Amino acid sequence: MKGNRIALIAGVVVIAAVVGFLAMRNYWPPKNGTEGAIGAANRYTAQQISGQDVVLKDPKVQEFLQSDTFHQLATNADFRRAVTENKSFVDAARSPQALDLLAQAMDAGRGGSGKKGLIWISEYAVAALADVNLAKFTPTQLEALFSVENAKLMRDPQFLEMIKGPAFVEAARQGNQQEALKRMKMPDNARAALEELAQKNPDYLAMLSSDAMRSFTENSKCTVLMDQLSKMPDNKWAQALADNNARSLIGDAGFQRLENLTAFTEALIGHRTEMKALFQSNADWAVLCKQAEQ
């Protein structure tokens, strides 16, 4: 009995030593016969939920997709072409900032000239965007250019003549703001607005004195645009026109066909979060539009 017990203990020790040795050599546990199970597990974990799936399962997005507003959009031929065929439109719309800025501008612009949507102001903005000289202005300069304060200044023919004066042009181009401002003879309230703009935007006076600005002021469509902007309650339009993607959308032919569509206006203003989520998720708009028809 004693001999059997000693043999049993010895056997256990030997087996433990062998298992330990194999484990150190990476031979244990055995791998043969388990590849299928491990592969299946890897494939399962690799099948991650796409961003589109997450967005489409969002209750608010689902509510929007079931709404009358989306139905009107999805069944509109211009909207369907824009989201399924117009890559430049979709690429620009993927920018959440662009959609935010446009929604805010649209909201601020509603009711202007008795019209809804954007068309009452953007038809002139499109003409201004076509001016190649605008490409020479920085985003900061563009925001100053399209600001309500600057638009009010540019409504005055006398102001437009003053910024073309040789003394002002020379001082402004040399960066001498104090001397340039001294050359501007204008009412105190207008001067205060000019000085504030110059203080906020170091390149503002240089922009006013540039050849590009001179060309801009000679464009009749641009003149009308500035007149419309001067009546805005805030600078939401200025911020939109200073953003590359927002400008791309405003200048896009597809957008121009949609801008006065009530459903499009309501979607961007009232369902901005859902619209941004759909564009950013690379949603299959063709499928969404087809489903909305059912």
Residue 38 has a pLDDT of: 40
Contact call for residues 259 and 93 (beta carbons, < 8 A): no
Question: In this structure, what DSSP letter does residue 149 have?
Answer: H
Structure confidence at residue 69 (pLDDT): 94
pLDDT at 122: 65
Rounded to two decimals, what is the model's pTM? Answer: 0.72
Dist CA 91 CA 97 (whole Å): 13
Rounded Cα–Cα distance for residues 170 and 172 (Å): 6
Q: What is the pLDDT of residue 233?
A: 85
Residue 151 CA to residue 174 CA, distance in Å, equals 24
- Which pLDDT does position 51 carry in this prediction? 59
Q: Which of 13, 61, 52 is nearest to 274 (CA)?
A: 61
Report how far residue 152's alpha carbon sits from residue 103's, in angstroms, rounded to the nearest whole number.
23
In 3D space, the residue among 142, 141, 114 whose CA is nearest the CA of residue 128 turns out to be: 142
- 154 neighbors 217 (Cβ within 8 angstroms): yes
Burial level of 218, CB count in 10 A (0-12/13-18/19+)?
exposed
> Mind giving me the DSSP string for 51-99?
HHHHHHT-HHHHHHHTSHHHHHHHT-HHHHHHHHT-HHHHHHHT-HHHH
The type of residue at 29 is P
Residues of the chain scoring pLDDT < 70: 1-51, 109-123
Q: Is 33 left (phi over 0), alpha (psi -120 to 50) or beta?
A: left
User: Residues 274, 60: contact at Cβ < 8 Å?
Assistant: yes
